[in-house]
């Protein structure tokens, strides 16, 4: 937690905030070893970053005086990430990684090799997804939450949503064996599509290429989804 991310209900007025949830209180006490008088980095969800001073801390609440909120959050990555739904633990970590890296649009997609049971996981509940996104923002000192949407059927996504998404973005399908190595340092908006453990099936690859995506690869090593997504984003942007 490199940032105290304040939700609207944490703000008492323009200059005072209170934090009452156990997770952040425990972090302040046990990890930061925070003391009254400490200056910390604060940010308002969706807004600016600044500094504030801890004026009270006990097991029930932390009070902050906000000194300034004048820094814009770091730039977002110009990417819409489409991720075949990973298994729950991998999903949790991947959401944190990509949020910390600056992704603002995430679509979780069903594909043939996604186990159907993953869609029933508690990790997909909105409050759990929100929690992982917040952890990513707190890590990277960002304030703007990504949007996450769920596409539980492959065909309607490819036929009805993908063409619109590709109108203003370069479509990149990351899949082993594709003809081109992942490009480096592109500076245009992109839609990056990453398959499940075990990969897309040939039919899915064909449909995504037909829709206008370029097939790219990261070499002959097979990476876990959470490693691959970080490696791809870091190389692309």
By CB under 8 A, name the binding residues for a second copy: 2, 74, 96-97, 100-102, 139-142, 184-185, 218-224, 227, 230-235
Taking the complex as a whole, how short is the minimal distance between the CB of residue 123 and a second copy, in angstroms? Answer: 18
Max alpha carbon distance in the chain (Å)? Answer: 60
Taking the complex as a whole, how short is the minimal distance between the CB of residue 10 and a second copy, in angstroms? Answer: 21
Determine the Cα–Cα distance for residues 151 and 107; give it in Å rounded to an integer. 7
Name the residue nearer to a second copy (CB basis): 123 or 151: 123
Taking the complex as a whole, how short is the minimal distance between the CB of residue 218 and a second copy, in angstroms? Answer: 8
Taking the complex as a whole, how short is the minimal distance between the CB of residue 173 and a second copy, in angstroms? Answer: 18
**Which of 202, 212, 181, 192 has its CA nearest to residue 111?**
202
**Integer angstrom CA distances of residue 89 from 93, 94, 123, 128, 133:** 7, 9, 8, 12, 14
CB within 8 Å of 218: residues ≥ 6 apart? 174, 181, 182, 228, 231, 232, 235
Name the residue nearer to a second copy (CB basis): 151 or 226: 226
Name the residue nearer to a second copy (CB basis): 10 or 226: 226
Determine the Cα–Cα distance for residues 133 and 63; give it in Å rounded to an integer. 24
Which residue has 């990509």 as its token pair?
98
Name the residue nearer to a second copy (CB basis): 59 or 75: 75
Determine the Cα–Cα distance for residues 179 and 198; give it in Å rounded to an integer. 19
Taking the complex as a whole, how short is the minimal distance between the CB of residue 101 and a second copy, in angstroms? Answer: 7
Name the residue nearer to a second copy (CB basis): 63 or 73: 73
As a residue count, the chain comes to: 237
CB 74 within 8 A of CB 140: yes
Structure token pair of residue 97: 């990684």
Determine the Cα–Cα distance for residues 87 and 104; give it in Å rounded to an integer. 21
Determine the Cα–Cα distance for residues 1 and 135; give it in Å rounded to an integer. 7
Taking the complex as a whole, how short is the minimal distance between the CB of residue 204 and a second copy, in angstroms? Answer: 19
Name the residue nearer to a second copy (CB basis): 63 or 103: 103
Taking the complex as a whole, how short is the minimal distance between the CB of residue 167 and a second copy, in angstroms? Answer: 28
Name the residue nearer to a second copy (CB basis): 9 or 224: 224
């Amino acid at each position: 937690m490199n940032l105290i991310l304040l939700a609207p209900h944490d703000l008492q007025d323009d200059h005072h905030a209170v934090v009452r949830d156990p997770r952040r209180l425990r972090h302040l006490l046990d990890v930061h070893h925070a003391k009254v008088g400490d200056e910390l980095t604060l940010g308002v969800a969706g807004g600016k970053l600044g500094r504030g001073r801890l004026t009270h801390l006990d097991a029930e609440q932390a009070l902050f005086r906000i000194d300034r909120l004048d820094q814009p959050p770091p730039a977002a990555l110009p990417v819409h990430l489409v991720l075949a739904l990973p298994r729950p633990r991998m999903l949790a970590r991947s959401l944190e990684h990509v949020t910390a890296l600056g992704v603002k649009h995430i679509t979780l997609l069903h594909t043939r090799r996604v186990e159907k049971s993953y869609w029933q996981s508690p990790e997909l509940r909105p409050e759990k997804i929100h929690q992982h996104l917040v952890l990513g923002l707190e890590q990277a000192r960002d304030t703007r939450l990504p949007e996450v949407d769920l596409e539980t059927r492959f065909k309607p996504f490819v036929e009805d949503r993908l063409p619109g998404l590709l109108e203003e973005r370069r479509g990149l399908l990351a899949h082993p064996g594709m003809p081109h190595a992942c490009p480096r340092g592109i500076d245009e908006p992109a839609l990056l599509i990453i398959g499940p453990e075990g990969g897309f099936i040939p039919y899915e690859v064909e449909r995504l290429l037909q829709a206008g995506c370029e097939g790219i690869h990261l070499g002959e090593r097979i990476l876990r989804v959470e490693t691959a997504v970080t490696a791809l984003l870091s190389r692309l942007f």
